[in-house]
Amino acid sequence: MRICVLGAGAWGTALALSAAAHPAGHHVVLWGRDAAQVAEMARSRANPRYLAGVAFPPSLLLLSGDAREAWRDADLVVLGTPMSALREQLASLAAAGCAAPVAWLCKGVEPASGLFPHEVQAEVAPKLRAGLLSGPSFALEVAQAQPTALVAASADADVRERLVGAFHGPALRVYGNDDVIGVEVGGAVKNVLAIATGLADGLVLGLNARAALITRGLAEMTRLGIALGGRAETFMGLSGLGDLVLTATGHLSRNRRVGLLLAEGRTLDEAVRSLGHVAEGVNCARAVVQRARQLGVEMPIAESVVGLLDGRLQSAQAVAALMGREPTHEV
């Protein structure tokens, strides 16, 4: 299979490496916007900026410049760009007449519009055959070929099968799912909830508090997902519970790291600058809460995170606001 990955960040590079090492012998192109970065990667056969210490296989082709040259003959196009660049990438592919299935890797909500990725695609590139890869995965571990399981989500069975064929292998297991809404809501909301668990860990509130936040956070995620048209069982799977547990507890989680830094007394700007990477939970928290309010869905943990990010609440106040809520049934 001929696979083109657009975006040479951590996750795009990791998936390109996984596909290039596949036993099927895929032909894989990794395209990057920054020509200087791509030239350095070609010289060193590595991506030291994002995946230090991981060597590229000889078969991986690196390109920059006109992206159309990278995906022109591809059987599958994978978008490794952040949520903020998804609209532009999809519009460009549609305008250029891309006929190959397209899958995005980003997890989140477009801050300006409040739209999830599939909703952005419906606006700017409705004729593309599209889907996404999601699930509990740190890019470094995928690049190192450590065991990982992902979800290939699309309403189009051929797109799901194409993604499974591209990436399912000895170190990466890929499950198909047609609940695009549920998979995307899980991928977006878990980032917001990971900020809350990072805050709790940074304040040394204990493992009881962490377990409570993860469990009640899963309930919030599920309520929103069902209200948007997703299926409840999706949130018990890899893209819901699985991704939430990983992002809320893993030391490689950027969103959890934001919460830890806020607990130390850092400002939001200081926390984000120190990461050197995108933390999608910061970008999409307000949009997630706004969608929930429009639908009448209660998300008290996510609301507290937004209050913290907006500077309306201090760390201790956010905890007090959650613990001081009226008793209710567990639903």
Output Rg (C-alpha) for the chain, integer angstroms: 19
Q: Which amino acid appears at position 65 of this protein?
A: G
Residue whose C-alpha is closest to residue 101's, from 59, 63, 71: 71
Asked whether 323 and 301 are in contact (CB, 8 A), the reply is no
Q: Which amino acid appears at position 218 of this protein?
A: L
Tokens of 34: 């920054």
DSSP 242: I
Residues in the chain: 331
Asked whether 80 and 50 are in contact (CB, 8 A), the reply is no
E strands along the chain, which residues?
2-6, 27-31, 46-47, 51-55, 61-63, 76-79, 102-104, 130-134, 148-153, 172-177
Spatial distance between the Cα atoms of 257 and 125, rounded to a whole number of angstroms: 34
Asked whether 105 and 78 are in contact (CB, 8 A), the reply is yes
Q: Which amino acid appears at position 196 of this protein?
A: A
Tokens of 281: 């939970």
Q: Which candidate in 87, 160, 168, 190 is catalytic? A: 190
Active site residue 190: yes
Exposure string of 36-49, with b = 16+ CB inside 10 Å and e = fewer, is ebbebbbeeebbeb
Known catalytic residues are 190
